Amino acid sequence: MRHKPKLIPTILLFIFGALSFAQSTDEDIKAYLDALASDSFSGNILVAHNDSIIQQRAYGLSSIEYKVENTTNTTFNIASITKMFTAVATLQLYEQGKLELHIPIDAYLPDYPNKLVRESISIHQLLTHTSGLNNFYVDDLDKLKPSAYKNISDFVPLFVNDTLLSKPGTQYHYSATGFVILGLIIEKVSGTNYYDYVKENIFKPANMPNTAALAMDAIVVNKASGYTSMFGENTVLKKNDTYLTKASPAGFYYSTLSDVFHFSKALRNHNLLSEATTELMFKPKVKGYNTHLGYGIDVDQRYNQTILGHSGGWYGIHCELMDFMDDHYTVVILSNIDDGGKTGASKVADFFKALIAEKKE
């Protein structure tokens, strides 16, 4: 009589090993968060495993001058995590057959004032930061007028005449400008205001009721103010009321822990895009400054598993969305204080990368 292979014990060992790893990891996460001090991190942290939230914590102050504490429902500026919304919106229209990724954008913006840009740059290049366009938030910082931008088109004069940094398709240059142009394309192709489009087609289906493009003078209960250390250079914090604008397709939406998590879950579970288009978005296409990029998403392959997501960094802002794809952990970090890469939100993010993906110093 032939004996069947002893697969069941092997499978059970694998299952018990995975459960043991998860239990140990969860305990390490709890211990770290229990010990994390508000004087070393200001903001909120959410951790989920297999799409179930296992930890939500709040630290520090949403208003230093009024001594208002952050809560797990506090709304934070998420800066460039916003780019993921714009990428999804663009890919939804691609999925519907309303736009192509590899043709010049003059097919959609024939009246865009810069002829070279509209005739030489594709949506693929805009989504992968290979268009040669600049980052107007940084390069034109002295031109920003915080309350001057009501519509997406209002941002265009900031960069429309800027010179390309490189020939389209040849080099990576992180570009807020490119994502604002994607916003113009979304409006043109959909026939809908950008802000309304993402609200109806992303925020509602993903269950994100607290995510909004707030006016600079909006009074919002439980919204965190941003405080800058000039990225770790200064020990005395300064409130950032100067270097912000209303959200554009490139950045500065406000959101909460739960909303960012719901977005991640909806995207990974194909509730916003089809499985094929989601895979297209996640597929690495170019090498950025540190990680590879898909379409509007970081694809970090430096450690023992791929981490998908995006960071958001600006004066008084440091946020991270990280999906650890092998072990199925999601980590959301929202902070209202910037840092120089070794403290604050950076240090918290490095803990999770080291614990889950074995990041080495």
Residue pointed to by tokens 């800058």: 228
Please report which helix (H) or strand (E) contains residue 304, including its range: none
Residue 298 forms beta bridges with which residues? 293, 309
Whether the pLDDT of residue 217 is over 90: the answer is no
Q: What CA–CA distance (Å, rounded) separates 205 from 198?
A: 10
In Å, how far are 99, 183, 212 from 109, measured between CA atoms?
Answer: 12, 11, 26
Q: What is the DSSP string of 174-190?
A: --HHHHHHHHHHHHHHH
Q: At what angle do helices 82-95 and 275-282 cross, to 10 degrees?
A: 130
Q: Report pTM.
A: 0.94
Residue 4 is predicted with a pLDDT of 47
Residues 6+ apart with CB under 8 A from 215: 147, 246
What are the pLDDT digits (tens) for 288-342? 999 999 999 999 999 999 999 999 999 999 999 999 999 999 999 999 999 999 9
Q: What CA–CA distance (Å, rounded) separates 161 from 172?
A: 20
The mean pLDDT value for 93-97 works out to: 98
pLDDT bucket at 91, cuts 50 / 70 / 90: very high
Q: What CA–CA distance (Å, rounded) separates 272 from 269?
A: 8
- Complete domains list, the chain, with CATH: 25-357 (3.40.710.10)
Q: Which of 244, 243, 256, 153 is nearest to 195 (CA)?
A: 153
